[in-house]
Structures are given as C-alpha cells and as structure tokens.
C-alpha cells in the first residue's frame, strides 16, 4: 500500500470511529510560538462544561460532540520568559477537547504532582500553542532558548 492511501484510510477510520489523532509538535514550534515559557508541574486536574461549570463525574469526558474541557492545573515554579507583567502562581491549561479522555483517566495519570517540565503557552489566557501540546522535558531548556533566539524571539 502506498503512503497516501494508507494515510487517507487511517484518517477515514478515525473519523468513522469518532477518534482523534494528537497533533505532532516540535520543540522549535513550541519555542518560537510561545509568549510564555515557564517551569512548572501538574498538581491537579479538573473538567468544566461549556458554561464553565465544574464536573465531578469521573466518567465524564471530552471528545467530538462534547463541550467539556479538561484542564491541567500547573504550579508555576519559575518564569523563563513571558510577555505578561504578572507571574501566575497556578495556570489552568486546557487539554485538546477533541481527544477522548475521561476526568478519571486524566486524574489517575496525574495523581501525584509531576516532575518539573517546560511549559510553552501563548496569549493572555495562557493557551497551548498546539492543541494539547505544551509541555517538554526540562532537560531541553538550553536548546529551546537557542531555538527561540534563532527565530528572533
């Protein structure tokens, strides 16, 4: 099978199954697209409906056709760079609402505070640059800043 028909078949299968494929992200994309780079750790998770009301049902989730949004609560440990004049203490960063996740699934994955990571966000609302893709290993800090400098940031 040639690559193009395979990719088309995969995309059609995902659509038929109402599934999503995570978007790829490169460190350069994140470093050059970020208005804010923080060092932070995930400390909790919540789920809100389309009206911003908290949902506590562990089986409730996200995905196509649902208006729910899972958010990671990220404790900011350090501001590397930011266009904001105020340093936030905790950010509530939305995960990709098109991905199929339940509140319980994501809470279990983040039951303990995570190791510190680089957090790349954009805009005054601190949103992911690429849906669901905004964290990177802290070991890549020097590389991210070098890539950012190459982009003229």
Mean pLDDT split into 10-residue runs, the chain, 153 residues: 49 46 77 96 96 96 94 97 93 94 94 92 94 92 95 83
Q: Is residue 118 included in any domain, yes or no?
A: yes
Domain count, the chain: 1
Q: Is residue 140 included in any domain, yes or no?
A: yes
Q: Is residue 17 included in any domain, yes or no?
A: no
**Closest Cα to residue 153, out of 28, 64, 39, 67?**
28
Q: Is residue 14 included in any domain, yes or no?
A: no
Q: What is the extent of the structural domain holding 84?
A: 25-150
SS3 of residue 140 by DSSP: helix
pTM reported for the whole predicted model: 0.82
Domain CATH number, residue 38: 2.40.50.120
């Amino acid at each position: 099978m040639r690559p193009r028909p395979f990719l088309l078949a995969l995309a059609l299968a995902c659509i038929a199954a109402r599934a999503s494929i995570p978007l790829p992200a490169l460190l350069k994309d994140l470093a050059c697209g970020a208005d804010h780079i923080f060092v932070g750790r995930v400390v909790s998770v919540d789920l809100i409906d389309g009206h911003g009301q908290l949902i506590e049902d562990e089986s409730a989730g996200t995905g196509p056709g649902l208006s729910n949004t899972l958010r990671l609560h990220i404790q900011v440990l350090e501001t590397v760079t930011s266009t904001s004049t105020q340093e936030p203490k905790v950010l509530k960063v939305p995960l990709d609402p098109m991905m199929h996740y339940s509140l319980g699934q994501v809470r279990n994955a983040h039951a303990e505070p995570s190791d510190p990571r680089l957090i790349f966000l954009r805009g005054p609302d601190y949103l992911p640059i690429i849906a669901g893709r905004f964290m990177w290993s802290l070991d890549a800090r020097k590389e991210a800043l070098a890539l950012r400098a190459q982009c003229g940031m």
